[in-house]
Structure 1
Amino acid sequence: MQVPESAIPGAYDKFPTIRVPGEHRAWQRGEVWSALADHADGGTVVIDCYPGTDVGGVVDAVRKALPDADVIDIETEAALPPDRIDALIRRDLTDDSVFGLMSHHHLAEFYDEARLDAVADRVTSRPGQSVLVGWGAALVPVESTTVVLADLPRWEIQQRQRAGAPNWRADNASAAPLTKFKRGYFVEWRTADEHKRALIGRVDFLLDTTRSVGEATLITGAAFRAGLDAAVRRPFRVVPFFDPGVWGGQWMKQVCGLDPDRENYAWCFDCVPEENSLLLEVGEQVVEIPALDVVLARPAELLGPRTFARFGAEFPIRFDFLDTMGGGNLSLQVHPLTDYIQRTFGMHYTQDESYYLLDAGEDAVVYLGVQTGADREEMARELRSAERGESQFPAERYINRFPAKRHDHFQIPAGTVHCSGANSMVLEISATPYIFTFKMWDWGRVGLDGIPRPIHLDHALANIQWERDTEWTTQQLVDRVTPLATGDGWREERTGLHELEFIEVRRHWFTGAVDHDTRGTVNVLNLVEGPEAVVESPDGAFEPFVVHYAETFIVPADVGRYRIRPHGAGVGRECATVKAFVRGTTDGDV
């Protein structure tokens, strides 16, 4: 496989950081607990932990550091028993193996109020120091001198669950990772984010236990909030993560500098703040926090007032990579219509998406839309037969196949049957509800665990828009590039998305400087051509920010005007970015 000329070995930054301005300190390992003890000065300490945190490890570390303190695991002392929690959330989890209902539970519902009061009485009646630990420690009705948020990114939670960790207060250590993920996605993380959002503005300390409790890092709440403020005043990158898959390829290994001994890499979440981390440089230390904390704590500054008003504290744009170079086809799939996802799953917007081709082999194709004249009843029968393992689904008989080459951009509004073929490197630009994929046919494969991946034909058939046939798809979804403007050393094009989708995508080709403006809404960009570029502030509001080929970066709404030009190895070459933003949310409107 030939690596693109734009790719410089080792340039792709897998661990981008944001320096926290000001004089702040970070404590590590054993220093953490002595720092907390000094701050508490004998008073009550609350360590509220995101679900997935090693609460037992935190309890043990505190008991060792503060042997005279009464260290209380609040989850053991006051949470409802697992069977009662299971009963509470059963309706949200449903019987489906993948999909549930978006939970509206509050954390207090998972606790016994009388037992919380009993813990409070225990704390107030004891003359010595008390330390409350666990998810929900802040629910105990007692005055505290020190409040700590032990936070954890969702990607780390998933790694722990794959290694055998159960969900919160669940006896499911041996369950499939998909089962654990569903409980986290639909219930635990929704509840935890609501609870955490109320804590961010008042915590005294942030505790990072992403690596382990023994390797924990502690920063002050002031440093934590200063990092959030710094993020929304400049361009930044989240920490990407990579994962193998049955159809995975080899492109990212070379371009992104990944382990060459791994069989493949299928996915990269290059900008999914719900899942990704953010690395904050505090003094000489690096602290890892969920990127979602910026969305929860600074939504108007990050998203812009109109986008925030429309979506709330959710980041609506997702950039990720799908690598099938030297791999196989993705599953044949369709995403739910907005009305369907609202009625069926309680999600208020759907997974519109698009495929932007970063790279493509000579035989690369995209499956998109049904063929004109396709018999829907016959297609449904063939799909059900294939699901039962009785036959192979003849996709080419029913689904259009379009040749794909570098820089092609295919639009995929919800309800459109689609699939990226083998030997493609896709930058997927889409809305963020990233798990609502209804697989129709997986080419007779099993997953990496040796088990067939779930098929959801009933959901899929209820959402396919059959009128999106060969003619409609060709006219509406393929090769929709529209020239918009030109200047000295640059030109701008609209490449998508479809009018049914809420995301607008602009591509800029440039050999010189290009002026941009967020115009009051968040921008998400990727350097799709050229080895290196720099993002600058015309008035020096932020330090120059260097990006490399294939790196995705976020420009918060509050940044306003910014400029991008070739830099380093990119000077003298034509570079290109794609930029996504939410339609109808910019100042003056677009």
Structure 2
Amino acid sequence: MSFMFKPLTYDDTKAINHLECSVDVVEKYSSIVSKILNDMNGSMVILIDGYISAPFKEIINELEIQSRAYGISFNSFNMEMLYRSEEEINELTKDNLPLNYEDDPVLLFGKVYEGDIRDFLDNQKLQAVLSTIKESDSQLIVLYGHGSTIIEFRQIADKIIYIDVTPKTTAVRAREKRFINIGDKQARSFNLLMRRNYYVDFEIALKTRKELLKNNLIDYYILSNYDKEPQMITGKALSIVLKELVQYPFRAKPVYLEGIWGGEYIRKIRDIPKDISNNIAWIFEFIPMEVSIVVETNHKYLDIPFYTFVQNNGLEMMGEKIYHDFDGYFPIRFNYDDTWHSDGNMSIQVHPDEDFIIENYNEFGRQDEAYYVIATGHGARTYAGWKGDGREFIKLAKQAEKEKSEIDYQEYVNSVPSIPGKQIMIPAGTIHASGQNQFILELGSLTLGSYTYKMYDYNRKDKDGNLRPIHLKNAEKVLRFDRDSEWVNENIAIEPKLIDDNEEYKEFVVGYTELMYFQTNRVEIKTKGKYSQKKDGFLVLTLVDGESADVYSKNDPDKVYHMNYLDIVTVPSTIDEYVIQATGYQPIVVHKTFIREGAKRFKNPKYLK
């Protein structure tokens, strides 16, 4: 699933994973179709399925053109013919998309759909098409669209093609009104289209892709991230690429998003052109459901959705225990929040705990976060916990929402000076905000949605001139009013604890609380120094200070990622002992995140089967 609303089209071309394997990559629809037709051996039934926004008609048109040129009789069936009516599908999904304007004024939230694409199909229409295909004398029959690879059609198919799309590309195509929701006849507004995508369509597409990958059913795998520039490899080649990738430390390709409080730090560090956007607020550096992973093979670059990698190789990547504890989902996310030289703070907000999320959204568990301060300007502060009467603040916030009045929020919300290297853990229920003039590494728990309840947003308007939505009713239900400044200092904004000190490095625990299942350490490595550790499962490393480092397997140093400042690199469970080598002319600081042994995992019983 993906919940990106405003990704920038900018591509970060430096996030590349170089592999030794070499597979054949076919480019352009004409060459792709020629390859498929040349592989034909007699009559053939082809199924073409894909992720949301996959451009099915481009390949269908090329198949028809080339079939005629080769003298091959051709017939195609669009899955849209087989869907139940729009009214029936809306009725089927209405509980997932409630019209609750009081709690959710712009309709962001909903409940995750538990079914699959089979629920959207009209069985009578399905059987009719199945019979027509069986009786057809066409040499080439193609069934295309979401749901074309259900078991009934797989039983009569010769080849399966899957068209994959990165979440960023899908979000951009949604913004450009390039597709509609499954079963719809006309486009919804962008916000409602993406809401339906998140809670229904993306979940359905993920289930289809997972089934095809796990059962090795894909014959041809097409990446369609760039218009008119598709790339195709075989399903076997995809397995080869991902099997090698999971043996390496790897980095995902970040996605950049604009926001009203966006800053300037990441633009300067990564030299992003000013015409891209003047307010880059979020950098989805490694949010598993939102990013992709670029691999170089045979001098070609394949931009593969990161969750395709997880669905195919998650067990090796995470390790058996973590994989099963989290039902195959990658359990941590990372992004950067940039308010450096910006106009203001992030909103004052809170996230819900597991009971609220399970009951209201049918999600996995609590939404915890953490802020690690990387860089600051003058006066930067991070807000967490209460300083004054929290219930009085809520009263004033309700008044401010109605009257657009201002609140002296600093009288009520506790804050601490933002010092580079400071880690603040933010368990669900804790009021918090990232302050103005800083660059923050934000990490969070598994919760896949964006369940942020804004309580006060300084009466700011968005880019379209609308006041940003406030969610006080839900916020009041989940806030912990007992978390004051003393509790914050004792429990979630701890002083670094030295745990290792030698000639080459020092390691500190900087983020730890029993309320959260991940822990963060800070490793300070001297110039040219090495840090080597054994581990169970996976961990994630961020170069938060210094110029460059190599991360590699101690047993196979060729399996290496050359990381630069602010790169986030995952060391998979396949690497038992890893090394971080400072490679520049300066010392470095690395932020390390890992799952705590024995920490509490899921609460939702449906994910504990």
Q: Place the TM-score, normalised by the shorter chain, in its bin.
A: over 0.9
> Which one of 562, 571, 575 corresponds to residue 559 of structure 1?
575
Does the 8 Å contact 1:371/1:400 carry over to 2?
yes
Counterpart-to-counterpart distance in 2, 1:229 and 1:71: 36
Paired position in structure 2 for 1:215: 229
2:39 partner SS: helix
Does the 8 Å contact 1:74/1:136 carry over to 2?
no
> Deviations along 1:419-447, whole A, 9 cap, x unmatched?
01110101102114250111111111111
Label 1:241 to 1:71 Cα distance change in 2 as closer, same or farther (>3 A).
Answer: farther
Paired position in structure 2 for 1:370: 386
Counterpart-to-counterpart distance in 2, 1:370 and 1:69: 72
Q: Give the TM-score normalised by structure 1.
A: 0.92
Label 1:399 to 1:22 Cα distance change in 2 as closer, same or farther (>3 A).
Answer: closer
Paired position in structure 2 for 1:102: 112
1:100 partner SS: coil
> Which one of 79, 84, 98 corresponds to residue 80 of structure 1?
84
1:347 aligns with 2:338: no
Question: How many residues end up aligned between the 2 structures?
Answer: 567
Label 1:172 to 1:557 Cα distance change in 2 as closer, same or farther (>3 A).
Answer: farther
Label 1:459 to 1:45 Cα distance change in 2 as closer, same or farther (>3 A).
Answer: same
1:194 aligns with 2:203: no
Identify the range of structure 1 (114-123 vs 346-355) with the bigger mean alpha-carbon deviation: 114-123
Paired position in structure 2 for 1:133: 144
Counterpart-to-counterpart distance in 1, 2:357 and 2:90: 24
Paired position in structure 1 for 2:249: 235
1:119 aligns with 2:129: yes
Paired position in structure 2 for 1:323: 338
1:517 aligns with 2:521: no
Label 1:69 to 1:351 Cα distance change in 2 as closer, same or farther (>3 A).
Answer: farther
**How many angstroms does 1:20 deviate by?**
5.0
Read off the aligned partner of 2:88 and give its amino acid letter.
R
Read off the aligned partner of 1:151 and give its amino acid letter.
D
Unaligned segments of structure 1, at least 5 residues: 1-11
Counterpart-to-counterpart distance in 2, 1:575 and 1:74: 55
Read off the aligned partner of 2:515 and give its amino acid letter.
L
Does the 8 Å contact 2:50/2:205 carry over to 1?
no
1:558 partner SS: coil
Counterpart-to-counterpart distance in 2, 1:224 and 1:555: 21
Paired position in structure 1 for 2:65: 64
Does the 8 Å contact 2:17/2:561 carry over to 1?
no
> Deviations along 1:289-330, whole A, 9 cap, x unmatched?
210012112221111111111111211111100000111210
Paired position in structure 1 for 2:23: 24
> Among the aligned pairs, what percent are the same residue?
26
Identify the range of structure 1 (238-247 vs 186-195) with the bigger mean alpha-carbon deviation: 186-195
1:395 aligns with 2:409: yes
2:374 partner SS: strand
Read off the aligned partner of 2:40 and give its amino acid letter.
A
Read off the aligned partner of 2:444 and give its amino acid letter.
S
1:152 aligns with 2:165: yes
Paired position in structure 2 for 1:35: 35
Counterpart-to-counterpart distance in 2, 1:40 and 1:576: 55
1:53 partner SS: coil
Read off the aligned partner of 1:126 and give its amino acid letter.
S
> Deviations along 1:353-374, whole A, 9 cap, x unmatched?
11111101121011111114x1
**How many angstroms does 1:23 deviate by?**
4.3
Unaligned segments of structure 2, at least 5 residues: 1-10, 600-609
**How many angstroms does 1:380 deviate by?**
2.1
Counterpart-to-counterpart distance in 2, 1:245 and 1:281: 32
2:32 partner SS: helix
Does the 8 Å contact 2:258/2:282 carry over to 1?
yes
Label 1:532 to 1:517 Cα distance change in 2 as closer, same or farther (>3 A).
Answer: same
1:526 aligns with 2:542: yes
**How many angstroms does 1:383 deviate by?**
1.1
Counterpart-to-counterpart distance in 2, 1:388 and 1:267: 29
**How many angstroms does 1:71 deviate by?**
4.3
Paired position in structure 1 for 2:6: none
Paired position in structure 2 for 1:424: 438
**How many angstroms does 1:232 deviate by?**
1.3
Counterpart-to-counterpart distance in 1, 2:48 and 2:136: 19
Paired position in structure 2 for 1:333: 349
Does the 8 Å contact 2:249/2:560 carry over to 1?
no
Instruction: Indicate the RMSD between aligned Cα atoms, in angstroms.
Output: 1.9
Counterpart-to-counterpart distance in 2, 1:510 and 1:23: 35
1:89 aligns with 2:93: yes
> Deviations along 1:38-81, whole A, 9 cap, x unmatched?
22333111111212112233322322232345343432221222
Paired position in structure 2 for 1:470: 485
Counterpart-to-counterpart distance in 2, 1:99 and 1:174: 16
2:263 partner SS: coil
Does the 8 Å contact 1:357/1:405 carry over to 2?
yes
Q: Give the TM-score normalised by structure 2.
A: 0.90
Counterpart-to-counterpart distance in 1, 2:450 and 2:59: 32
Read off the aligned partner of 2:173 and give its amino acid letter.
R
Paired position in structure 2 for 1:358: 374
Paired position in structure 2 for 1:458: 473
**How many angstroms does 1:494 deviate by?**
0.6
1:169 partner SS: coil
Does the 8 Å contact 2:493/2:511 carry over to 1?
no
1:267 partner SS: strand
